[in-house]
Structure 1
Amino acid sequence: MIHPTALVSPKARLGSDVSIGPFTIVHDDVEIGDGSRIDGHCEIGYPTPLAQGRPLVIGAGAVIRSHSVFYAGSRFGTGLVTGHRVTVRELTEAGQGFQIGTLADIQGHCRVGHHVRTQSSVTIGQQSVIGDFVWLFPGVLLTNDPNPPSNELLGVTLEDYVVVAVKATLLPGVTIGRGSFIAAHALVGQDMPEDSLVSGAPAKRMCKASDLRVKGDMRQRAYPWRHRFVRGYPEHVVQGWAQGTDRFEFDA
C-alpha cells in the first residue's frame, strides 16, 4: 500500500506487498523487495553522482523506520531493519539481516557482512569492512582519516563475530581479529589478533576474549557469545552453532 501523500517515482521497481508511508519519497533508480515496509518521512534513493550510476537495491522483507535516508548506489540483502533517522550513504554493500540502530550514520563506500547488528548512534566510516555476525553497540565510531583533514582514507576492518562495546573508537586502518571483544570507551589504534579482549585508552590486548566469564556465573564463558545468545538468528545458523559450525554460506 502506498500512502496518498508519498511520492513514488514511476521508474522505481517495487515488489509485491510493499508499503510506503506518508510523505516518503522514492526516487527513480530504486528496487524494493517483496514484503518491505518503508515508514513515513523517508527518502529512498537520494540522488548523488557518487553512486556511479548504480541503483539502490533493498532486499525483501525490509523495515525502514521513519525519517531515514538511503542514498542511491547501495545494495542490501533480505531482512534489512532500521531504527529511526538513519542515514546510509552511497556504495554501501550489506548482506542479509543487517540491523541499523536509530541515528546511525553509515558514510558509504563500505562492505558489511551478514547478520550484522548495530545499535543507536553508531558511525561507520567510508572504506570500513565488517564481517559476519558482528555487533556494534551504542556510540561506536569507526574512523578512517589518519591525518585529518586529508584525502587518504583507511577504513577499519572487523572480522567475523567481533563485538564492539559502548562508545569505543577504532582508529583508521585498524584490523580486529575474529571473535574479539572491544571494551566500552576503548580507543583502539593498533591491530588486534583473533580472540582478543581489548580495553583502555590507548587500548591494549588484556587477554583472550574466550577467557572472560559471564557476570555472576564464573563457570560459564562469555565468549564466543554464540554459545549463549541466539535470539533472532535464522534457524539453520542456530543449529549450526549448536553443532559446532561457525562459518556459513549465504545467498548473494
Structure 2
Amino acid sequence: MARIHPTALVDPKAELDADVEIGPYTVVGPHVRIGAGTTVGAHCVLDGHTTIGRDNRIYPFVSLGLPNQDKKYRGEPCQLVIGERNTIREYSTYHVGTVQGGGVTRLGDDNWMMAYTHLAHDCMVGSHTIFANNAQLAGHVQVGDWAILGGFTVVHQFVRIGAHAMTAMCALLFADVPPFVMAQGQPAQARSMNFEGLRRRGFSAQRIAAVKAMHKALYREGLTLVQAVERIEALAQTHPEAAADVALMRDFLAGVDAQRGIVRARRGEA
C-alpha cells in the first residue's frame, strides 16, 4: 500500500500505485497518477492531469502539473507526463501543456534535474539528460537524449537542443543547438563538440572522428547550412560505423527554422 504522511492532502480520486511514498504537507490533486516506487518529499504540490511513472525521486517544494504561464491558456485539460527513474530536486516547476502546442509537457526517463529547474508548457525533454541548478526552458522547447544544460542556462521558446549537446553555465539560447555541440555565451555560440561526454558514453574512435568531421563541416569550412548538410550526409559512406550519428545530425538540421537558425561560432573559436 502507498505510504502517505498523515499531514499530506491526497485527493481520493488520485491514483497511487504500490509503494508510493508521499511526504508531509504535500498536496496531490484528483487527476494525478503516480507509478510504483516513486517517492514524493515534503511540501510538494502535484496537480492537474499529471502522470508520473515508476521509481522517481521528487524532493521537497517541487511543483508539478499546475496551470502553465501562457496567457492563451483557458484551463483546458492538458497534461504533464513524467517517465521513470527521474530525480527532480527542490523548487523545480513543470507545467502542463497547451492546446495550441499539442497539449502535453513531457519528461522522459533517467533524467537528473537539479534544484530550481523549470519546464514550461509543451516542452519535450528526452532521457538521460542533466539539468544543473536553475536551467530554465521557455515554452515548446525540445531537448534530446543525453543533453547537459549548465547552471542558469536559459532557453528561448521553440528552441531545440540536440542529443549529446552541452551548454555552459549561464548560456542564453536563442538558436538551435545541434547534436554533439558545446555552446557557451550570451547569446550562446558554438565552442566545440562534446567529445569527452561521447567518450564517457562509449563512442568509438571512429564515431568520434565522424563527429569531428560534422563539426568541421558546420563550423570550420565557411559553408552555408545547406552545403554543410550535404557534406555531413556524405559521411555515412566514408564513416559507416557512424551512420546513426550522421542520421541524427541530418534529421536535426532538416528541422531548423530558417529565421531561428543554429548557434554559430565566433571566428577561430569552434
TM-score by length of 1: 0.70
Contact 1:6–1:20 (8 Å) recurs in 2: yes
C-alpha separation in 2, matches of 1:131 and 1:224:
18
Deviations 1:46-79 (A, max 9, x none): x4xxxxxxx2111100111001100151101111
Larger Rg: 2
2:110 matched to 1:104?
no
Aligned counterpart in structure 2 of residue 90 of structure 1, from 96, 121, 128:
96
Aligned counterpart in structure 1 of residue 159 of structure 2, from 156, 179, 184:
156
Deviation >3 Å, runs of 4+: 241-248
C-alpha separation in 1, matches of 2:106 and 2:61:
21
Shift of 1:98: 2.0
Paired position in structure 2 for 1:225: 197
After TM superposition, the structure 1 = structure 2 runs for residues 234-249 of structure 1, keeping only pairs within 5 Å, are: 241=203
Q: Structure 1: which 5+ residue stretches go unaligned?
A: 48-54, 145-154, 189-202, 211-222, 231-237
Sequence identity of aligned pairs in percent? 23
Contact 1:179–1:224 (8 Å) recurs in 2: no
2:172 matched to 1:178?
no
Which structure dedicates a bigger proportion of its chain to strand? 1
Q: Structure 2: which 5+ residue stretches go unaligned?
A: 67-78, 98-104, 208-240, 246-270
Paired position in structure 2 for 1:52: none
2:170 matched to 1:167?
yes
Shift in alpha-carbon separation, 1:143–1:227, aligned structure 2, 3 A: same
Paired position in structure 1 for 2:221: none
Paired position in structure 2 for 1:209: 193
Shift of 1:99: 2.0
Amino acid at match of 1:67: F
Which structure dedicates a bigger proportion of its chain to helix? 2
Shift of 1:186: 3.8
Number of residue pairs matched? 189
Aligned counterpart in structure 1 of residue 16 of structure 2, from 8, 14, 19:
14
2:198 is paired with a residue whose SS is: helix
Paired position in structure 2 for 1:65: 59
TM-score by length of 2: 0.65
2:4 is paired with a residue whose SS is: coil
